[in-house]
Amino acid sequence: MRSFIERVAALVVILIASVGLFYIGREHKVFLDNKTIEMEGQSFRALKFVRVSVAGKDPIELMPRDRDLLAVVGPSFKLKVEVMDEFGEDVEKTIERELKPGFDKDMMLSMPLLAADRDDYILPPPTGPARPPENDVKPTDELVIPLDAAPPTD
Amino acid sequence: MPDMPLLKLENIGKEYFGNRVLADVSFSLKRGEILGLVGENGAGKSTLMNILFGMPVIASTGGYEGSIFFDGEKVNFKSPFDALDVGIGMVHQEFSLIPGFSAAENILLNREVLNRSVLENLFTPRVSTLDRATMNTRAARAIETLGVDIGVDTIISEMPVGYKQFIEIAREIDRAKTRLLVLDEPTAVLTETESQILLEALRKLADSGIAIIFISHRLQETIGLCDKLVVLRDGRIVKEVPVKDTELSAREIASWMVGRSVDNNPAARGRSSSTGETALEVEHMWVDMPGETVRDVSFAVHKGEIFGIGGLAGQGKLGIPNGIMGLFPAGGVVKLFGKPIELGEPRAALDSKMAFVSEDRRGVGLLLGERIDWNITFTAMQVQGRFLKGVPILGKFLRLRDDAAIAEEARGYIKSLEIKCTGPGQRAVELSGGNQQKICLAKAFCLKPDLLLVCEPTRGIDVGAKELVLGTLRRYNEEYGTTIIVTSSELEELRAVCDRVAIVGRGSVAGILPATRPPEDFGILMMGEKIDA
Amino acid sequence: MTQAKRTFAQKLSGFFANNAVPIIFIVISALAIPISGFSATYLIQELLIRIGRNSFLILSLLIPIMAGMGLNFGMVLGAMAGQIGLIFVCDWSIVGIPGIVLAMIIGTPIAVLLGLLCGVVLNRAKGQEMVTSYILGFFINGLYQLVVLYFMGWFIPITDTSLVLSRGYGIRNAISLMNIRTILDRLLPLRVGPFDIGSFHLGYIDIPVATYLVIAAFCLFVVWFRKTKLGQDMRAIGQDRAVSDSAGIPVDRTRVIAIVISTVLACFGQIIYLQNMGTLNTYNSHDQAGMFSIAALLIGGASVTRAGIGNVFLGVILFHLMFIVAPMAGKNLMGQAQIGEFFRVFVSYGIIAVALVLHAWKRHNAIMNARRSLRGAPDKKEAAL
Amino acid sequence: MLKKFINAAGWPRIIIGLFLTALFATAPFVGVLVSTSLSDTLVRFGMNGVLVLAMVPMVQTGCGLNFGLPLGIISGLLGATLSIELNIRGMSGFAAAIAFAVPIAVILGYFYGQLLNRVKGGEMMIATYVGFSSVAFMCIAWLLLPYKSPTMIWGYGGSGLRTTISVDGYWHDILSNFLSLDFGHLHIPTGMFLFLAALCLLVWLFMKTKTGTAMTAVGSNPVFAAASGVNVDRMRIVSVVLSTALGAIGIIVYEQSFGFIQLYMGPFYMALPAVASILLGGASVNKASIWNVLVGTFLFQGILTMTPSVINNILQTDMSEVIRIIVSNGMILYALTRKAQVKR
């Protein structure tokens, strides 16, 4: 009985730990989008120049129609958006938000919406990313392939 | 109830496949009492112990009759571990020790003292570490009880044989609840002094209240040690006597062991044919057969005679024919009709027209997976080049197996030896023990030997087949004048079929007697006593 | 004969006979290193990396040897389990140390299941454990390919399309493990040097401290395990199965446990190996794990029945030293790097063959000696002779 | 009746046989030509038959499954390359290849047999690794051996032999085309079948001689054989030599049909399909017959030919390799665990 309880407890601990690891170790791809967007019949124009800093990293500068991608790890991160003037000299507006992607994977942040102080600035990530070149796979029963031992081919 | 017996057997009986091996065995044993159990090989001692210990072989062959009471309660053990649980310990003939472990580790094998571990509930108690200090103390205490001086750290493989026996016993002593200890031939591997120490230790154990069943072939020892003696013969108790009150002689016990009342004793054969020439001469032969070591034997067999070799198991009687046939490393001189035979080379023995029926039917005697006719003719084909026929043009260069002739030969033996089978094509493994033995005989006959060596011809076969096999041997001897050497553990069988019987003890010939001599004489030779020829 | 009676010369020749394999390798390396022309810094750095990379895998072989089951060629099963764990972790984008740990947690139940299967199969083939576990490796490799190449992305959901073949199911040939690459090695970085020992100049050397700590913990585990009752039971079974059985030790069960432990550890080992490599070759990475680990262990002087932690580290150093220098030495000596490459392949296989032959030979001699010792009391024997 | 048949044939063969029949039955419906598939199966059967036959002598004497087949194959490769080096073409080139290969195989087999006699009980694992290491050793040799024939060495001044050497113009299909028959798409390589049949007959005859009978007995019960005056070690060596020589001939037959000699790591895994084939044919670890060879090779090669074409057309995916891996290794595993059971 005691061992049953201990085993169940251990299992629960491992499960919780796994969920925890999943939670804190999850990498989120954050797309920063600075495109004109239609929302509820309104059109939000792309910002002229915006500087975005995610999770305290070096800021990224986006021009209109730019879309950039970076990766953050962990359940939450700080976002600092500085809307700049056309020439990237003066900060017109600073927005700071804390985002909690939690268990979700990727997200896209719309700069125009953010600049408009709307709360629906988190968009689903774009689909169909560029594929790496295909490598063909053939099954093999060669359990023991000698490293670099293939002889030269014609 | 202090007077209640610790162990009580009531009417124990057992049959193996219609063969009765035990009948109506009853005796009891009190605390602190030492009971000596003696009997010939095959008298039923091992079966009795197997029953007592709940060995699986008993249940799988139909259980046993009668009942066993331990400490007043009826018991029926399912496995030897059940017997251990109530406090019956067993010391086996063959060592069950781990060679690379120390004395302490072996004494406490699977009963190790453990430190408590936080992980033991999570996984198994087996993840706890060993408490070696406590283990060593306990082991040392057990060894001390025996009165010997063996270091607890000594590795088993580096110990002399005698010490190993003490470790085995110490293991049983260490079990806190051991109340009955069974020892099977514990002194067989010990020197005189070691035996003495052991016997004293056993006495001490008994005085501390442990009951002991002592199985031994050394009668003097048994008489010296035991309070009570039970003699088994043919699965029955023939004698149960207290030792201390009466003056028993080894000779008396031996006669109980082998003696049979005259009326059920088949007539001994014992033709005297010593006038003929000598067929086989063996001088100072030694044979390196595991468990049946032959140290130094010399004897001569007359032409046309049936010569018996008897003796207790492990004394070397089986080593003699196996050595002559070259199956085990051997030395000394063996001459067949005056011609020396090269030892250690089966082909040499076969070439000089000797044939052999092995005691190990399934291991040596048969090609279990092959056809009957192959089994019978294989040796003749290999040694004498028979059963081969030439291919029409290539006759000289390519000779093929003559399957028709092989089958024909087999049919002949199937008929004459009454082998029960579906035909010469049946595989040997599918036959019963008796029929397999007949095939082994047929294989030997097929060689048309001058000298036939037969080991344990009736081992493991039923009564009817026994008669037939022995009859065949006698007939073959009479018809062809073939000299035959029969090796058997069953003295009666030897006396019935042989002219003279040699008894082998401790690797050499204890004596050769005409088969007509009374069985007690042979029994005394087996027990290692001297007798006038 | 007692130990004390042996002469020094006997001890010396005994030492050489028992350690022939490592000694030969030391000699080969000693000859090949100067020919290869590698710098000491390079060699030491490479060796440090390879010790960290491979030791764990090799250590996983120790426990079945203790239980008398020989070299566990079935450790590739554990490697496959570890790779499945890594594939999932990659798909879920769990990075860093959490990723590695989670991959181990996912891999463990798979490794346990495969280990159970392997243990049960091996119990049915006692005495033929090695060849059976070897073939079992091939067999499970087939199942692994079935799962990874056809089932993943079909009914085992894989969300990350960059892992999946363009046909829509099946995992790609190579998966980049950039997100967990050398993460353990770099957790506690330590750079030492430069050193000048006499005329010997050594540059900077990086030591993957965290990986070494994990390996040290594993060594402690092995040491502890040997002291447990389970370890004791395994040693007993390894020496004599029948006696252990009659003493009430659950032989079959214990053998299965030994294989399960080995498989799970191999799973961890493969994850550690791959985090160092940085790429998962989905269909070959596990292939090499078994053969190279076994070869290294044997080169370290282990035999089929006896292996210790010392053998692991000696083996990993000698084997990889040869591995690094052989192609270069071959090139400088014969003008062809290929000869060196083939040579090291030849040595890897050859060493396993030699070790197996020596083992079979020794066993044969032991049987003969045991038989001779049965000849009975020596006094009688001499009289007979 | 049915039970008797099942017992005689054994479940593995029935399952694989039914599977193969199903494949042939579905072939026309998925647009696969039965006659072409059958031709392919027959060609592969002829190619591999001798290699599988090379298992028989060693299995019969209880040396276990010949995982050391690469040793025989290496001899065959040496013979084949020597024959090309000497520029012998046509049937005589093929004969020369065998004539060179067999003596090499006999010598290698003799030493290999000596080794196996010293490691009784552990033959299979040791054979595997002896095979592997000899292949690796030969890799070095192929680079260093002083071959001169331009068809075989690297064109651009490199030294050593090519990975694959074409036997076109030497003895490509020299056996297969001998008396070959064509019925539409069905092609029967009669010559190769005749050659296989002749070798099978020779092996069968040999097993019927006194020595052959003794070999069977050694495999069945070595102690019995020794007690009957048979020199067990010698019989085992004879069987290993025979197996190795057959392996050498087998690879040459394979090459003449395949059209190429594969050197370097080529022979590495050639033992496994052969082992799987004979086990599939119903052999056990210590008992094998010519019949097992023929049935096993046909079934195994049939599966190999049919799964890619049929299964791929059904599932639109190439699962044949995975199926092959699972079937062949599953078969070996089954045989290994079955033997242990009988032993107990």
Sketch out chain B's domains with CATH numbers. Answer: 7-262 (3.40.50.300), 263-353+449-533 (3.40.50.300), 365-448 (no CATH)
Q: Which of C134, C139, C141 sits opposite D125 (nearest CB)?
A: C134
What value of ipTM does the predicted structure carry? Answer: 0.80
Contact D163 A152 (CB under 8 A): yes
Contact D162 A144 (CB under 8 A): no
How confident is residue D344, by pLDDT bands cut at 50, 70 and 90?
very low
Q: Is D230 on the interface with B (CB under 8 A)?
A: yes
pLDDT of B199 higher than 80: yes
How confident is residue A151, by pLDDT bands cut at 50, 70 and 90?
very low
Q: Which of C233, C240, C246 sits opposite B126 (nearest CB)?
A: C233
Find all residues with CB under 8 Å of D332, minimum gap 6, and list them.
Answer: C135, D65, D272, D275, D276, D279
Q: pLDDT digits over B459-475, tens only?
A: 777 667 778 888 888 88
Contact A140 D163 (CB under 8 A): no
pLDDT of A135 higher than 70: no
Average pLDDT, chain C: 84
What's residue C376's pLDDT? 44
pLDDT of C375 higher than 70: no
- Fold adopted by C40-311: ABC transporter involved in vitamin B12 uptake, BtuC (1.10.3470)
Contact residues, C window 75-114, toward A, CB-based 8 Å cutoff = 76, 92-99, 101-102, 105-106
* Longest distance between any two alpha carbons in chain C, whole Å: 84
Q: pLDDT digits over D52-78, tens only?
A: 999 999 988 888 888 888 999 999 999
Tokens found for residue B290: 């595991």
Contact C350 D136 (CB under 8 A): yes
pLDDT of B187 higher than 60: yes
How confident is residue C110, by pLDDT bands cut at 50, 70 and 90?
very high
Q: Is C131 on the interface with A (CB under 8 A)?
A: no
What's residue A140's pLDDT? 47
Length of chain D in terms of residues written? 344
Find all residues with CB under 8 Å of B351, minimum gap 6, and list them.
Answer: B383, D229
Q: pLDDT digits over D147-160, tens only?
A: 888 888 876 656 77
**Chain CA centroid to CA C31, Å:** 26
CA atoms within 13 A on the CB side of D265: 16
Please work out, in degrees rounded to the nearest 5, the angle formed at the alpha carbon of residue B19 by the alpha carbons of B13 and B21. 40
Rounded average pLDDT over B88-110: 84
CATH number listed for the domain at residues A26-123: 2.60.40
How confident is residue C385, by pLDDT bands cut at 50, 70 and 90?
very low
Q: Which of D115, D144, D325 sits opposite C141 (nearest CB)?
A: D325
Task: Pinpoint the alpha helices (H) of chain D.
Answer: 2-9, 11-26, 34-53, 56-60, 69-85, 90-118, 123-144, 190-208, 210-220, 222-227, 232-258, 271-280, 290-306, 312-315, 320-343
Contact A152 D325 (CB under 8 A): no
What's residue C150's pLDDT? 86
Q: Which of B97-111, C311-325, D320-334 has the lowest mean pLDDT?
A: D320-334
Q: Is C339 on the interface with D (CB under 8 A)?
A: yes
Q: pLDDT digits over B61-88, tens only?
A: 788 888 888 888 888 888 888 888 888 8
Contact D272 A139 (CB under 8 A): no
Distance CA C45, CA C34 (A): 17
How confident is residue C64, by pLDDT bands cut at 50, 70 and 90?
very high
Tokens found for residue D17: 């046989």
Q: pLDDT digits over D18-56, tens only?
A: 888 888 888 888 877 888 888 888 889 999 999 999 999
How confident is residue C3, by pLDDT bands cut at 50, 70 and 90?
very low
pLDDT of D238 higher than 90: yes
> C236: which chain B residues are within 8 Å (Cβ-Cβ)?
98, 101, 109-110
Closest-CA residue in chain A for C340?
A149
Closest-CA residue in chain C for D126?
C353
Q: Which of A38-42, B279-283, B363-367, D260-264 has the lowest mean pLDDT?
A: A38-42
Which is higher by pLDDT, D311 or C357?
Answer: C357
Q: pLDDT digits over A38-69, tens only?
A: 877 888 888 888 888 888 888 888 888 888 88
What's residue A153's pLDDT? 31
DSSP D270: S
Neighbouring chains of B at 3+ CB pairs under 8 Å are A, C, D
Please work out, in degrees rounded to the nearest 5, the angle formed at the alpha carbon of residue D77 by the alpha carbons of D72 and D80. 125
In chain C, the N- to C-terminal Cα span, in Å, equals 21
Q: Which of B323-327, C32-36, C219-223 has the lowest mean pLDDT?
A: C32-36
In the sheet with B65-70, reading across from the earlier edge strand, the strands are: B19-29, B7-16, B65-70, B73-75
Average pLDDT, chain A: 76
Closest-CA residue in chain A for D165?
A154
Q: Which of A114-118, A139-143, C73-77, D335-339 has the lowest mean pLDDT?
A: A139-143
How confident is residue C89, by pLDDT bands cut at 50, 70 and 90?
very high
Q: Which of C139, C357, C359 sits opposite D326 (nearest CB)?
A: C139
What's residue B265's pLDDT? 45
Q: pLDDT digits over B229-278, tens only?
A: 888 887 888 888 887 766 777 777 777 776 654 334 445 565 655 557 88
pLDDT of A95 higher than 50: yes
CB pairs under 8 A between B and C: 86
In the sheet with B330-336, reading across from the earlier edge strand, the strands are: B294-302, B278-287, B330-336, B339-340
Provide the percentage of residues in chain C whose pLDDT is more than 90: 31
Q: Which residue has the tokens 């030395």?
A: B331
Provide the percentage of residues in chain B whose pLDDT is more than 70: 91
Provide the percentage of residues in chain D whose pLDDT is more than 90: 25
What's residue D156's pLDDT? 62
Contact C138 A141 (CB under 8 A): yes
Tokens found for residue A128: 């169909």
Q: pLDDT digits over C316-326, tens only?
A: 998 888 888 88
Contact A10 B121 (CB under 8 A): no
How confident is residue A142, by pLDDT bands cut at 50, 70 and 90?
very low
pLDDT of A98 higher than 70: yes
Q: Which helix (H) or strand (E) holds B508?
A: strand B508-514
What's residue B274's pLDDT? 55
Q: Is C385 on the interface with B (CB under 8 A)?
A: yes
Would strands A42-44 and B65-70 be described as parallel, antiparallel, or unpaired?
Answer: unpaired
Percent helix / strand / coil, chain A, rounded to 5? 20, 35, 45
Disruptive mutation site among C65, C221, C227, C243 for chain B (greatest number of B CBs within 10 Å): C243
Rounded average pLDDT over A75-101: 83
The pTM assigned to this predicted structure is: 0.84
What's residue B215's pLDDT? 87
Contact B399 D220 (CB under 8 A): no
What's residue C372's pLDDT? 62
What's residue D249's pLDDT? 93
Contact C338 D319 (CB under 8 A): no
Which is higher by pLDDT, B188 or B37?
Answer: B37
The Cα-based distances of A17 to C83, C179, C266 in angstroms read 20, 20, 22
Q: Which of B11-20, B306-315, C25-34 has the lowest mean pLDDT?
A: B11-20
> C343: which chain D residues are within 8 Å (Cβ-Cβ)?
140
DSSP A71: E
pLDDT of D339 higher than 80: no
Contact D336 C141 (CB under 8 A): no
Closest-CA residue in chain B for D223?
B364
> D216: which chain B residues are within 8 Å (Cβ-Cβ)?
370
Rounded average pLDDT over B381-396: 80
Instruction: Find the radius of gyration of the CA atoms of chain C.
Output: 23
> C348: which chain A residues are within 8 Å (Cβ-Cβ)?
146
Average pLDDT, chain B: 83
Which is higher by pLDDT, D213 or B518?
Answer: D213
Q: Which of C120-124, C203-207, D91-95 has the lowest mean pLDDT?
A: C203-207
Distance CA C46, CA C328 (A): 14
pLDDT of D101 higher than 90: yes
Q: Which helix (H) or strand (E) holds B80?
A: helix B80-86
Q: Is C12 on the interface with D (CB under 8 A)?
A: no
Rounded average pLDDT over B139-150: 85
